[in-house]
A = this chain, B = another copy of it.
């Protein structure tokens, strides 16, 4: 997803444009990596030094609801990245547990794996592979 698309989605849903929102999205768009709310806060302070963490959290959760950000949970805190499923088709990620960097996996287990018991009404699924990226492996020495 591009920054412009994200802003378009906000507009379509009647949310107002603010520089802070754009900057948050821009920060997430810079990297194929999961960022924590704190990460985003730190980076946005360069441009908006007084921004309150309430704003960051509130906007993040708006973005997640609108499908602009994807969310996961690592080390007991929420991590976020610009949604990419929207771009092409639905897929999943390998995630570096050190730095949050991601790499796409083709396909989805839901298509491949046959039987989901019919006494459950399925609402979603999660498939994530965890590991360490090249860079973090070498840093760890």
Q: How many residues of A contact B (CB 8 A)?
A: 34
The secondary-structure label for the interface of chain A is: strand
Q: Does A7 sit at the interface, judged by CB under 8 A?
A: no
Residues of chain B within 8 A (CB-CB) of A124 are 129-131
Write the nearest CB–CB distance from A65 to chain B, whole angstroms. Answer: 16
- Listed by A's residue number, 19 A-B pairs whose Cβ atoms lie within 8 Å are A94-B122, A96-B120, A103-B117, A103-B119, A103-B120, A106-B113, A106-B114, A107-B113, A109-B109, A120-B131, A120-B133, A121-B132, A121-B137, A122-B129, A122-B131, A123-B131, A125-B130, A126-B126, A126-B128
Residues of A within 8 A of B (CB): 73, 76, 94, 96-97, 103, 105-107, 109-110, 112-117, 119-134, 137
